[in-house]
């Protein structure tokens, strides 16, 4: 399970973040990949620029390859992979005449090579995502992706009938089912309102609300993907626009907190409990990556300006 959101501040700068929910971590750290990094690719792609964008986010490094769970770049474009276990369907092999990208490298390919959603939309029209693992120890993960910049969000889903690019006008994503289903499901909650419920008269009885918050009665409270998307989309849409870095980072962590998963409420078939392993935030305003973990709720900051970007390999960043 995972939840991702995106929004902009008073000045139009993007903040992008996610909860990563799972039963165990993978030794993930904040990874920075300089623009001049020489990263092996799964397939020949002569169209990739020699030097791409600098990328930072959460992930692991395998044989010199940054495997990002989520990341942002120095142009203010960000991407996160969220679990999509039942519906994800990648191409079995590369397809001639298209840009072939292995699923494991998709986030880095997006963040390295593109500056905006407009550029990415054009490229995705002739892109094939291939089910090629990075090695035998790490199988292909079934994911879909939330991608955002200052102008909006996209959801990219590879399914049995092809690659779908959705315009995500609610700036939120969770897991199954596909985003088109989630977008329609939101229509079941049109009556929710952040305002104080109005008093009512039933026969001779004058009924008054207990207090604020009653207008969202009916909001689903479980931890499944549909419920978490409703909560994330609603809170994200109704949180007042903020000014300043601290207020916007607070907004992101508080919004994702509405969908965070504690131990004990989401048991897998094998008996293990899922939990929100970490929450992250990429600020395009300050080019800073923030994160907090389940066991350490302190928010740690990783400013890109504090990193030595002169190298040619991905590296583990140190918190400020």
Catalytic residue set? 2
What is d(CA 139, CA 251) in angstroms, rounded to the nearest whole number?
35
Cα-to-chain-centroid distance, residue 158:
16
Q: What share of the chain is helix, strand, coil (3-state, %, to 5)?
A: 20, 35, 50
Query: C-alpha angle with apex 195: 249 to 206, nearest 5 degrees?
Result: 150
Is 78 in contact with 115 (CB distance < 8 Å)? Answer: no
The string of DSSP letters for 7-27 reads EE-TTS-EEEEEEEEESS---
- In angstroms, the CA 49 to CA 115 distance is 12
Only one residue has tokens 């292995």, namely 102
Give the separation between CA 261 and CA 189, rounded to whole angstroms. Answer: 22
Backbone CA torsion sign across 237, 241, 247, 248 = positive
Burial class (CB in 10 A: 0-12, 13-18, 19+), 31: buried
């Amino acid at each position: 399970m995972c939840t991702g959101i995106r929004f902009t501040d008073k000045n139009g700068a993007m903040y992008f973040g996610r909860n990563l929910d799972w039963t165990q971590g993978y030794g993930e750290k904040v990874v920075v990949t300089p623009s001049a990094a020489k990263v092996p690719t799964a397939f020949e792609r002569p169209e990739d620029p020699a030097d791409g964008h600098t990328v930072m986010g959460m992930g692991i490094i395998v044989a010199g390859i940054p495997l990002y769970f989520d990341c942002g770049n120095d142009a203010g474009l960000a991407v996160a992979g969220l679990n999509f276990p039942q519906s994800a369907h990648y191409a079995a092999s590369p397809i001639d005449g298209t840009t072939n990208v292995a699923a494991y490298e998709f986030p880095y390919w997006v963040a390295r090579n593109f500056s905006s959603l407009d550029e990415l939309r054009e490229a995705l029209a002739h892109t094939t995502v291939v089910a090629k693992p990075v090695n035998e120890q790490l199988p292909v993960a079934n994911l879909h992706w939330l991608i955002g910049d200052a102008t909006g969000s996209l959801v990219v889903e590879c399914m049995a009938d092809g690659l779908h690019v959705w315009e995500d006008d609610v700036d939120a994503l969770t897991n199954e089912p596909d985003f088109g289903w989630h977008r329609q499901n939101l229509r079941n909650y049109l009556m929710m309102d952040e305002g104080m419920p109005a008093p009512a008269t039933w026969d001779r009885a004058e009924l008054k609300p207990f207090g604020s918050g009653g207008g969202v009665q009916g909001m689903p409270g479980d931890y499944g993907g549909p419920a978490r998307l409703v909560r994330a989309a609603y809170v994200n849409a109704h949180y007042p626009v903020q000014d300043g870095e601290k207020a916007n980072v607070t907004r992101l962590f508080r919004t994702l907190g509405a969908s965070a998963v504690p131990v004990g409420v989401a048991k897998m078939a094998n008996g293990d409990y899922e939990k929100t392993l970490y929450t992250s935030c990429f600020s395009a305003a300050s080019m800073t990556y923030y994160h907090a973990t389940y066991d350490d709720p302190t928010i740690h900051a990783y400013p890109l300006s504090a990193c030595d970007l002169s190298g040619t390999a991905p590296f583990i960043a140190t918190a400020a």
